[in-house]
Structure 1
Amino acid sequence: MDAYDVIIIGTGAGGGTLARYLAPSGKRILLLERGDWLPREPENWDTAQVFVDNRYISKDTWYDKHGNGFQPQVHYYVGGATKLYGAALYRLRREDFGQLQHHDGMSPAWPVSYEEMEPYYTMAEQLYEVHGNRGEDPTEPPASGPYPFPALHHEPRIQQLSDDLAAAGYRPFHAPVGVRLNEQNMPYSICVRCQHCDGFPCPLHAKSDAETLAVRPALQAPNVTLLTHAHAVRLETNLAGTAVTQVVVDHEGHEERYAADIVVVSAGAANSAKLLLMSASDLHPHGLANSSDQVGRNYMFHLSQAVLALSREPNETRFQKTLGLNDFYFRGPGFDYPMGNIQMIGKSEPDMYRGEKPLATKLAPTWALADVARHAVDFWLSTEDLPKADNRITVSRDGHIVLDYSPSNPTAAKRLYHQLKSMLGSMRLHEDHLIHRFAYMKTDIPIAGVAHQAGTCRFGNDPATSVLDAHCKAHELDNLYVVDTSFFPSIGAVNPALTAMANALRVGEHLAGRLGVSYAAPAATPGASR
């Protein structure tokens, strides 16, 4: 059985970033990835392949609380969910780290403050080459430095949208985006700012994803090993049940076992919870690290709405994700509770409509759908999903994930939708058209849109109400950590990726101290092409 200093299960925003941080330590590090390298192929930018045929979506079947099967929007590749994310890299607001009252419930406080997390946010923005402008967003928390790169400029129709919002008294801002631009005068910066970013893989390696900017640089160190097609299925402990001694892996159909002084789980909120639950033993009868009965509970994934408005004039924008609006993040007109974030998403295309509404569009001529796409302006509305103990991940007898979920904050989500609808006229958009879209959910079963899943192994100071301590170590085990978004006690209303990256760097610093090494944090490094 091979032994390592650190085993990291999962290579996404949490696990990949942690590997990048620890790579210079010289310690033996094993990365376990359930999937493979995502192939660079023409289909990467084929809308029908990506959004209709779900080419890059796992074939997994999960089940809802009624026993109905669905295909979740999960991606098992080196880089995890970041391979197809939109690279919108927001910080949580300072207030998100404290207790917040919502219309439909309470968002709990974190065991760490924004001020404690801030240095790691800055490091993560540098590592993932984030573009943005400080001071434009009225809810922006304090930062110790500027963004590493200036904000992406708006294309003409989005600039007009920004100007119209500002004229109406709102405060639009340039969204923080992680892309690698050729205008940086760097030979590896090759983003062409096309419409194939949000929800697509990038064959140019121009998206700031965990494969490109974390895993590949980490693998340049001789002490880091990556094993693909390696599905961790169980963790085993010592006789006292106080430390993980073996990671049991299904590697291409064969059982293999690996040992390490430190084991880090970063398989995604649902799969990390599943792994701990599947690791039940006589000493841990309800699952590993689960004497509190909190593993799998408090599942959150944002109350997200992808909507399309029709512009009175053509929208020829290619890269649409440059604008955000947080005026309603904490309250709105006549509604003294948080509503959420509004941002742009990738430009919609005719094949997306056919995938979303096959019956309604079956007889529609291609030119008609193309005309809709030409005038479409696409928004993403995100409202905080509140943690509820009964919203949870469990595992069926045959090993399938079961997701029991009910919306926790629907009033705020509805108010945000109607707020945007009320603003359409001021943005030169048809006031009677705000159309729900399902392409970004991959299906019209709401719980299948799990891209922002979080909360199933929350961290906290009280072992009775949390799974992990403030360093993301399991309360009950000496060497088990969780660094994906499972640790979130609340999710805020902005994309969670940057927070997962920042926290991985924070935990990485802690682990480096535990391993007896000290060195400077990794700087942004060109990702090697495969």
Structure 2
Amino acid sequence: MIIDDQHYDVIIIGTGAGGGTLAQKLAPTGKKILILERGDFMPLEEQNRAEVDIFKKARYRAPERWYDPEGESFSPLMNYAVGGNTKIYGAALLRMRERDFEEVKHQEGISPEWPVKYNDFEPYYTEAEQLYQVHGQVTNDPTEPPHSADYPYPAISHEPCIQKLVDAVAQKGLHPTSLPMGWTRQEDDPTSDSQVYGIDLALKHPNVTLKTGAKAVRLLTNASGTEVKAVEVEINGQSCLIFADIIVLACGAINSAVLLLRSANEKYPTGLANRSDQVGRNLMKHQMTAIVQLDAAPNSGQFPRSVAVNDFYWGDENFSYPMGHIYNTGGLLQDVIFAESPPIFSVLTKAIPQSGLKQLAMRSIGWWAQTETLPDANNRVRVSENKLYLDYTSNNAEAHDRLVYRWLEVLKSIDKQRANVYPRGEVPVQVMANQCGTCRFGEDPNTSVLNSNCRTHDVENLYVVDSSFFPSGSGVMPALTVIANALRVGDHLISILN
């Protein structure tokens, strides 16, 4: 095994929304920072999904096999590259609602209270929106939390086909609003991601080093288990030990938990920092259903998402529990997650070749219905015989079904002139979008993995800044909250480093 002769102040493992953002936050300190990324830089033509066939199977899948509870293997939809999953996400950057930080009663259970509240996050939400060039507009969304500043850029304009629907939905007494989107405004690379606004900015500082093709496989502690002393890394098939004062995990909710579980030692036989037995547990990812509205008029199939409807976020007149979030997919030909659910067109396209599917997509308008799933200790990531198992059963099903059918009712009520079909398709478990919750934070070390600063309760110099820390998932995408939290934890680390 090679031992790196460099000693770093901070090692950040992962370059997604949490790791990339934290890297740019810490870079100006002048401290010696190493960033580890198991993937490489993603070619621009793969990032610009208007230029590729997103319906091609395995295009955006990780090159590894995971296992379901029955032992069947699958390849997860996620991305190993500089920028992580933000290289293939939809760039919708929403704030969690104020009530999401409190205990919320759902029909099937409880979303637990967060140890840090909306007012603590608000300045970091504002900082995150500035950093990631979020385009939006604070309007009459009944669930929108207070903002201390306007969005830095105006909302993205609706496509004509979307504007027509927005006007019709508003006439029904609902409140369609602009979907906050991270946007670079560059034609060749429009998506605002953590490479562009995290890693690239951090690497402008000479004290920051990035190693790609570097997979962290184990964390090694001192004899008492109170500190991580080194990270074992595989680079080009060779093992290397790298030493640092502070270690930050940002591998994604699943892989950060896996790294801790694979770092078990005498002090922590069930996984590093796992005295609470919570590492890997409480995995959450939204229930998501794609709804396709067939349209007589063709569109490009390639336009950004731009509208959200949150009137049913906390329920409706017939259901007093939270239901969730509605937003449009943008052009169907560039929505990676949508491409994973071709059964949505199955009743229409059994005899239609792939080219026909594309033509159909260009005469369609897509919507996502998205509902919070509740934390469940049995929904977990586990490692057995060096295999990664995903034990996961979705929940909160009636709330999601009500949201889907409520939105179908709205669409049908504004489109009686045409005999449109509204097929729907649920996202399969292999899609890792919006994963969170496997190392949740809290004040009690017996029921949580991290404290309120996202440092592990058990190991003094070990932090986690991806979506692992979520104690509940809320009904909106987690990306902006991950970014804001990385900025918040960054301020804490700067106070320690200085």
TM-score of the pair, normalised by structure 1? 0.88
Which of 372, 388, 397 matches 1:401?
388
2:330 equivalent to 1:346: yes
CA distance in 1, matches of 2:358, 2:225: 60
CA distance in 2, matches of 1:141, 1:71: 38
Matching residue of 2:362: 374
Instruction: Report deviation, 1:312.
Output: 4.5
Letter in 2 for 1:130: V
Check whether the contact 1:308–1:377 (CA below 8 A) recurs between aligned residues. Answer: yes
Check whether the contact 2:281–2:379 (CA below 8 A) recurs between aligned residues. Answer: yes
Taking the TM superposition and a 5 Å limit, the aligned residue runs for 1:75-474 are 75-181=79-185, 190-191=186-187, 204-316=188-300, 318-349=302-333, 356-357=342-343, 361=349, 363-364=351-352, 369=357, 371-397=359-385, 399-428=386-415, 433-437=421-425, 441=427, 446-474=428-456
Check whether the contact 2:8–2:34 (CA below 8 A) recurs between aligned residues. Answer: yes
Aligned CA distance change for structure 1 residues 290 and 367 (closer, same or farther; 3 Å): closer
CA distance in 2, matches of 1:108, 1:163: 37
Deviation per CA, 1:281-318: give whole Å up to 9, x if none.
00111110001000000000111112211124444564
Check whether the contact 1:17–1:505 (CA below 8 A) recurs between aligned residues. Answer: yes
Q: Secondary structure at the match of 1:448?
A: coil
Identity %: 48
Matching residue of 2:40: 36
Taking the TM superposition and a 5 Å limit, the aligned residue runs for 1:44-59 are 44-45=48-49, 49-59=53-63
Instruction: Report deviation, 1:205.
Output: 2.7
TM-score of the pair, normalised by structure 2? 0.94
Q: Which runs of 5+ in 2 are unaligned?
A: none
Deviation per CA, 1:386-422: give whole Å up to 9, x if none.
000110000121x221011111211111111110111
Q: Secondary structure at the match of 2:332?
A: coil
Q: Secondary structure at the match of 2:261?
A: helix
CA distance in 2, matches of 1:385, 1:254: 40
CA distance in 1, matches of 2:286, 2:160: 30
Q: Which runs of 5+ in 1 are unaligned?
A: 182-189, 192-203, 517-530
Q: Secondary structure at the match of 2:424?
A: strand
CA distance in 1, matches of 2:409, 2:225: 57
CA distance in 2, matches of 1:383, 1:363: 33
Q: Which moved more, 1:92-101 or 1:311-320?
A: 311-320
Matching residue of 2:496: 514
Aligned CA distance change for structure 1 residues 127 and 350 (closer, same or farther; 3 Å): closer
Deviation per CA, 1:314-343: give whole Å up to 9, x if none.
445642410000000001230111000000
CA distance in 2, matches of 1:355, 1:317: 16
Letter in 1 for 2:31: K
Check whether the contact 1:43–1:49 (CA below 8 A) recurs between aligned residues. Answer: no
Letter in 1 for 2:436: A
Instruction: Report deviation, 1:45.
Output: 3.4
CA distance in 1, matches of 2:281, 2:181: 31
2:73 equivalent to 1:69: yes
Letter in 2 for 1:66: E
2:468 equivalent to 1:498: no
CA distance in 1, matches of 2:311, 2:257: 35
CA distance in 1, matches of 2:95, 2:406: 23
Which of 14, 17, 23 matches 1:13?
17
CA distance in 2, matches of 1:43, 1:300: 26
Deviation per CA, 1:75-98: give whole Å up to 9, x if none.
000000000001000000000000
Instruction: Report deviation, 1:372.
Output: 2.5
Check whether the contact 2:309–2:326 (CA below 8 A) recurs between aligned residues. Answer: yes
Instruction: Report deviation, 1:460.
Output: 0.1
Instruction: Report deviation, 1:462.
Output: 0.2
Q: Which moved more, 1:359-368 or 1:484-493?
A: 359-368
CA distance in 2, matches of 1:242, 1:86: 39
